[in-house]
Amino acid sequence: MSQWKKRLTAIAVTAAVILAVPTAVFAVKSILEPDPPSPSQVVTVSAAQITAEAPEAGKAPSTIKADGDDYVISSYEWLEGDKEVTGAFEAGKQYSLKVTLKANDYAKFTAFKPSVSGAESVTNGTLDSSHAGNRIIFTAAFPKTEEGTAPVVQQKSYLSYQNGEINLVAKFSDAENILYNLGPKGPNSLFEFKKVNIVSIGLNGEDAIKDGGWNLMSSSTDCFGPYVVSAVNNPTADGDTYSFTGGNHNYSNAGTVSPDPKDSPTAEMVSLKVFADGTEVSEGFSGYADEIAFEWVNDIQGNNTKIKGGGGRPILRENYRMVFDGDTFHVSNEITILEDCRMKTYYGLQLPNPWASDGIKYVDAANTKWNPTNASNNCGDKTCASFICKRGSYNCQVSIDPTVGIGSREYLNGSNNYAAFNESYAKAYFHLFRDVSRVFKGGETFRFEGTYRYFSE
């Protein structure tokens, strides 16, 4: 071989080696994927809600949607038996919906029974794996279709009063009902909203309670407000003049329930009465009614008349009445001063709102934009009488009547205290009393009226 050919061959070999090096390095780099997230970083998904339109004769299958941020619909199909529905639904037949949900890469499903609006039953979900990004598969069965008829819609509310627990099922939307769970709770065992769940409209009242649906609001705090109130005379040795009493507040100003003396109660529910269409009912009652009412009386200690270990002296009495008309809870509270006292703070109605991912909006206020519920914000004025908390199509509006009693804000003082506000721990309030210096005499009474309304839009 000539010298010229030898040089060309050497150059070609050298070039091939040089070109091969980056390729080899690239191949090594391509398999160096990031480490998977540690188990503590994976979000566990243990509930899912699917909104679907129940089959109706003559109509084609509708699309469905998932109400959740940590998963998506991977696939779904409408079935008659094992056969996929390709045309319109037929009268007198029963259909089912088979759904596969996929968890996002940072999340994983546990085994559970999802909730499907309008369905009469749902199977337990089956997992394809136990790893992040897994899938859950389930089937929902719907009632038989009837030509020319709409799904049965509950008109009256269903009340169940069993073992101290009160459950109330009412219409929420064309596709869903709402389940309210109420009863004594917290260190003071006062009557409260405990949970609000969304259930299928295809279930009767008792079955809706057993099914439970999915949870919209769960409260570990109080909706009916506590007080910062102090007796003028005869304070106890271990009291103070700054902490809250009543509501969900124990001796140490916390919501802890335990036998420890520092967790002793600062209030007592003296009585509770339940009415269905004007007739008082007792524990063991269940049935439908147009109007359901609750009346309860609470005795509230002062922060300087409470006693560690229990037995503090009440200085206020609350007389609550709450009427549910199938849509809205109408609340009134008449407060009687039992002895001379100073009332510094009272909120009246409150709403825990960590569920409200779309925020809080003050109605007819200086600040009318949507504000985050995990940040401190306020209405910007001293007259706002209503706010709305929102998550998708699920809303709760809380209002105070400004024409009734202390709803006028007669006792709202301080330039930085506003009529309605939200705290960063996700809870919204009204101000009815704040920074009041005068002494209220024993025998005086105060009153307010307001509403709670959960609704869909």
Instruction: Give the predicted TM-score (pTM) of the model.
Output: 0.69
Determine the longest span between alpha carbons in the chain, in angstroms: 122
Shared-domain flag, residues 252 and 365: yes
CATH number at residue 321: 2.70.98
Over residues 318-342, the pLDDT tens digits come to 999 999 999 999 999 999 999 999 9
Q: Is residue 162 part of a domain?
A: no
Shared-domain flag, residues 322 and 207: yes
* Least confident stretch, 62-76, 270-284, 382-396: 62-76
- Dihedral of the alpha carbons of 319, 324, 327, 333, in degrees to the nearest 10: -10
Count Cα atoms within 13 angstroms, Cβ side, for 441.
1
Domain membership of residue 419 as a residue range? 168-456
Residues 100 and 75: beta-carbon distance below 8 Å: yes
Tell me how many domains the chain contains.
3
Please check the confidence at residue 354 and state whether its pLDDT lies above 90: yes
pLDDT-derived band at 278 (thresholds 50, 70, 90) equals very high
Shared-domain flag, residues 181 and 88: no
Shared-domain flag, residues 187 and 75: no
Q: Average the pLDDT over 163-173 and give the result.
A: 95
Shared-domain flag, residues 76 and 116: yes
Q: Is residue 160 part of a domain?
A: no
Shared-domain flag, residues 66 and 128: yes
Q: Is residue 151 part of a domain?
A: no
Rounded CA separation 34/417 (Å): 50
Looking at the chain, the whole-number percentage of residues with pLDDT higher than 70 is 89
Shared-domain flag, residues 450 and 324: yes
Nearest to 169 by CA among 142, 199, 191: 199
Q: Which amino acid is at 156?
A: K
Looking at the chain, the whole-number percentage of residues with pLDDT higher than 90 is 69
pLDDT-derived band at 83 (thresholds 50, 70, 90) equals confident
Q: Is residue 156 part of a domain?
A: no
β-strand 433-434 against 411-412: which pairing, if any? parallel
Shared-domain flag, residues 65 and 172: no
pLDDT-derived band at 146 (thresholds 50, 70, 90) equals confident
pLDDT-derived band at 13 (thresholds 50, 70, 90) equals very low
